[in-house]
């Protein structure tokens, strides 16, 4: 059930809203991840995913009377599950020059955070949450298959 809320949020575009008629609610991705967290507060992925969908128009959220920004959500996720490589990478990407993050009592620089991601097998130079459009040629029908289709149509 908490995972259903999160999966619905994952399937949405950042500016999209969904109406839940049985609850009379209109929800954004942020709202859906907050609902998932309220149902399963120990699930690290929910905090990480929520951090990745915060926007300039909604840069903070309140959970249990505490304000969280993107950085705080990644830290919370990593405190719950330090094996989330993409979360380490996302945190490293948002840390400014000279800024640190304290995780489980250890103060880490951006390069140390990225090294943790690399140690978990995650190495991307782009933000890990960025959607990448497939190239058109990946979906092109090979010429020999086009000929087969043309013969079948005759």
- Give pLDDT tens digits for 21-77: 988 889 999 999 999 999 999 999 999 999 999 988 899 999 999 999 999 999 999
| Burial tier of 11 (Cβ tally within 10 Å: 0-12, 13-18, 19+) | exposed
Q: Are 92 and 100 in contact (CB under 8 A)?
A: no
**Per-residue pLDDT for 141 more than 90?**
no
The pLDDT assigned to 135 comes to 44
pTM here is: 0.78
């Amino acid at each position: 059930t908490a995972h259903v809320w999160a999966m619905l949020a994952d399937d949405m575009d950042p500016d999209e809203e969904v109406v839940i008629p049985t609850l009379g609610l209109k929800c954004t991705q942020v709202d859906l991840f907050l609902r998932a967290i309220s149902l399963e507060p120990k699930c690290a992925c929910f905090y990480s995913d929520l951090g990745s969908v915060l926007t300039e128009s909604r840069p903070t959220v309140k959970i249990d009377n505490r304000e969280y920004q993107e950085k705080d959500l990644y830290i919370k996720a990593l405190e719950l599950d330090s094996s989330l490589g993409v979360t380490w990478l996302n945190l490293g990407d948002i840390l400014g020059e000279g800024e640190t993050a304290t995780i489980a009592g250890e103060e880490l620089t951006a390069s140390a955070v990225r090294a943790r991601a690399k140690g978990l097998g995650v190495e991307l130079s782009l933000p890990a949450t960025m959607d990448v459009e497939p190239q058109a040629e990946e979906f092109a029908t090979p010429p020999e298959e086009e000929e087969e289709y043309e013969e079948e149509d005759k």
